[in-house]
Amino acid sequence: MNILATCACTVLSFGVISSFSVTNEDQNSRFLALRLVDRKVLFEDRDGRLPVDVQWAKVVQLPGGRVLFFDALVPKVWIADGQGRSRQIGREGSGPGEFRMPAFAGAIGDTIWVYDVSLRRFSFFSSETLRLVRSTNWSGGTEDGWDLGTPVAINSHGTVLVPGGGDKRIMANRAVRWVPLFVLGTLPPEKAKPIASLHVLNSSHRIVQQGPRRTVVRDQPFTDRSLFAVSPNGQQLVVVTQAEELGRNGDSLAVWNLTRSTRLVWRTQLGIAREAFSAKSAQQAIDREFADLTDAARSAGAAPVRKSDYMTHLYVPKTQTPATHVVVDNDGAVLIRGNDWLGDSVTYTWYSARGALLGHLRVSSQLHIRALQGQRIIALRKKDDGEHTLETATLTR
């Protein structure tokens, strides 16, 4: 546990530094407003037939305009064909090609992979036929005193990306401030190496409410934890560090290439102003989050959560952290969702694969972009009735 416990001042300190940095001056000189065109609804959730919670949604663009999507930890994975229809891939169960708790997914060439956290198994499917090709069991063990948690990605070279600390340990208490993000060069792993450190100090609050239709789960809504994402092909990694304890200068962004060797491609400070999270705005945000949780519990047939239980151990920061979600495409381009704790709109920031700031997109906070490839985005839109549409659009200047 001591490998990164003292790394608060040397965040993102691992990796081969054969890269360049992007300065804030470069970013400001290239500011452009972005917009979405060619918008199309790929699939619409009707009467709760395809319940997808944007907080847990996993979305992957596939060849031919198809989209893989699922609600993580729910044993159903769908493929939307781009024409308003969908079909499931696999089914619920523990046998070959079946799922209990699918958590992460991607696409390597013409192969789709899904990792099931309950079965501790990668399942590989043909992108064309959607039939199971093979399964591979995976159990991480320990490395340098850290439990290896759930693998979040795999690529064609067999490289696996795994957060250290173990999934339960990360959420268990506030004693751990930073955990390592490991790259394992072979499958099964022989020797892991840390590539970055993830701030997790204020991400340990979770509410779980059992319902007859589905389980309602809510993580800490206000957090300054590090964000990270991996491209569908498992070759590009982005880490956003935004620990409040480091101050504004600690807000940073870095992108790695993960192939046979790990290479830091570019990094920069975010340069996004931190606004004060006043007592009034904090209360408004808490009330909104609690109302959403109550509505979700009601729709799941669960008893309402008591507000006193919800407030227990709830972390309320002093400032609004700059980012709440991040995605990276197969080329290394990055799209960051800004702070969405309050208000009806949210700003996305788009970086090129070489770190140039391409511009900012302001959209309704109900639109959640979950996948990016080139200029094409896939998003989930939460409607007023609580259901969702799966949409696609082109991101342009």
Distance CA 29, CA 136 (A): 48
Q: How far is it, in rounded angstroms, from Cα 272 to Cα 88?
A: 40
pLDDT at 196 over 80: yes
Lowest mean pLDDT among 47-61, 100-114, 296-310: 47-61
What DSSP designation does 352 have?
A: -
209 vs 200: which has the higher pLDDT: 200
86-89 and 77-80 beta bridge pairing: antiparallel
Using CA atoms, how far residue 217 sits from 26, 32, 54, 181, in Å, is 41, 37, 12, 24
Tell which wins on pLDDT, 178 or 336.
Answer: 336
To which CATH superfamily is domain 20-43+54-396 assigned?
TolB, C-terminal domain (2.120.10.30)
Summary mean pLDDT of the chain:
84
- Which candidate, 355, 356, 255, 332, places its Cα nearest to that of 30? 356
With 80 as the cut, is the pLDDT of residue 385 above it? no
Tell me how far apart the alpha carbons of residues 155 and 107 are, in angstroms, rounded to a whole number: 9
Percentage, residues of the chain above pLDDT 90: 53
Residue 296 pLDDT greater than 70, yes or no: yes
Give the model's pLDDT for residue 54: 83
The mean per-residue pLDDT over the stretch 191-198 comes to: 86
DSSP-derived 3-state class of residue 240? strand
Q: Looking at the predicted structure, is the pLDDT value of residue 5 above 60?
A: no
Please check the confidence at residue 265 and state whether its pLDDT lies above 90. yes
pLDDT at 355 over 60: yes
d(CA 216, CA 209): 5
Taking the C-alpha atoms of residue 376 and residue 261, their distance in angstroms, rounded to an integer, is 29
DSSP-derived secondary structure letter, 272: P
Tell me if 343 sits within 8 A of 365, measured CB to CB.
yes
127-150 per-position pLDDT tens digit: 999 999 999 998 777 777 788 878
φ, ψ for residue 192, nearest 5 deg: -95, 150
Q: Are strands 132-137 and 142-143 parallel, antiparallel or unpaired?
A: unpaired
pLDDT at 8 over 90: no
* Residue 2 confidence (pLDDT) above 80: no
pLDDT value at position 167? 46
- Considering the entire predicted model, what is its pTM? 0.87
- The stretches of the chain forming alpha helices (DSSP H) are 24-29, 167-172, 279-299, 307-311
Q: Where in the chain are the domains?
A: 20-43+54-396
pLDDT at 250: 87
For residue 178, pLDDT beyond 80: yes
- Give the pLDDT band of residue 358 (cuts 50, 70, 90): very high
| Model confidence at 1: pLDDT above 70 | no
* DSSP letter string, 78-147: EEE-SSS-EEEESEESSSTTEESSEEEEEEETTEEEEEETTTTEEEEEETTT--EEEEEE----EETTEE
pLDDT at 85 over 70: yes
* pLDDT over threshold 80, residue 6: no
Supply the pLDDT for residue 166.
54
For residues 80 and 61, the answer to whether their CB atoms sit within 8 Å is no
